[in-house]
Amino acid sequence: MNFQQRHAQQYADLTSPEVIDAVRDRTLVWPIGSVEQHGPHLPLSVDLLLAEDFGNAIAEGVSGLVLPTLSIGARSLPQSGGGLHFPGTLYLQGASLLSTLTDTLSALRHLPYRQLVIVNGHFENEALVFEAIDSARDAGYFGDRSVAAFSWWSLTRDEWIAENLPDFPGWHAEHAGLTETSLMMHLHPDLVRAQRPIHLDTPRSGIYAHPIDPTTFTTEGVLSSTVGASEEIGSRLFLHVLDQALSLIRTKSNNWKSDPDAGSDSVNA
């Protein structure tokens, strides 16, 4: 538990008579994660915990409410998550995840919230999350509300990476690597085991190759190096992403306030 989790208001803790007034003109933050193998040193919950931690901190920063985390995500793929060669991973087929996301967005359309922020923590979810939002937009579920959706790593600045992660292998290969290990050391140190696997021959991004030999494209499910992971890097990364997220969201909020006639097309662009 970190300090953000104690303070952000949880949507599901409200009662039914409270919910309409509680969400009116507020920001709803929805963490989307996965239950996925993360090597011998990290728990299956990394992607859902990090999405939740960022979501709670963002909600606290904008006085928003946090929706319950969507814990089961898209299928883990070999070149970005180690794939299904390792035990423990739970996943939804793409079509099921898309339905789960769009059905939930449909249910939310009846609430008078002002802005929706979706924080993704699992690499393979991203395209499906964006597709669900786009089809919800087409279906008119957002009306005049604004939406911001992102994977937390997409908010890191190139300058920050160059300065803090000199051997950065690409986000697809950061699965259970230096950044996730450091964030977990910062946020959930009790869940981090002692091993620090190294995989030097990191897979190239955007290539699916069959047949697959798990011993050549990962080391125990880890796609890059965890050497040098630290609580300090995790703390710096967490604050950097949070800072970027809040400025993105506040910019959208300000746009909303200064242009009340903005249609769904422009605020969702």
Query: Which residues make up the interface to Mn ion (CB under 5 A)?
Result: 36, 47, 81, 122-123
Instruction: Name which of 71 and 115 has its Cβ closer to Mn ion.
Output: 71
Instruction: Name which of 141 and 217 has its Cβ closer to Zn ion.
Output: 217
User: Catalytic residue at 188?
Assistant: no
- Contact predicate 184/49, CB 8 Å: yes
Peptide bond into 211 cis (omega under 30): yes
Helix, strand, or coil here: 222?
A: strand
Helix, strand, or coil here: 261?
A: coil
User: Catalytic residue at 126?
Assistant: no
User: Shortest gap between Cβ of 135 and Mn ion (angstroms)?
Assistant: 23
* Active-site residue, selected from the candidate residues 41, 53, 60, 122: 122
Instruction: Name which of 36 and 60 has its Cβ closer to Mn ion.
Output: 36
User: Catalytic residue at 180?
Assistant: yes
Joined tokens for residue 66: 């946090």
User: Shortest gap between Cβ of 17 and Zn ion (angstroms)?
Assistant: 38
24/21 Cα distance (integer angstroms): 5
Helix, strand, or coil here: 32?
A: strand
User: Catalytic residue at 131?
Assistant: no
User: Catalytic residue at 186?
Assistant: no
User: Shortest gap between Cβ of 107 and Zn ion (angstroms)?
Assistant: 27
Spatial CB neighbours of 98, under 8 Å, sequence gap ≥ 6:
128, 131, 132, 135
Instruction: List contacts with Zn ion (CB under 5 A).
Output: 46-47
The catalytic site residues sit at 36, 38, 47, 122, 124, 175, 180
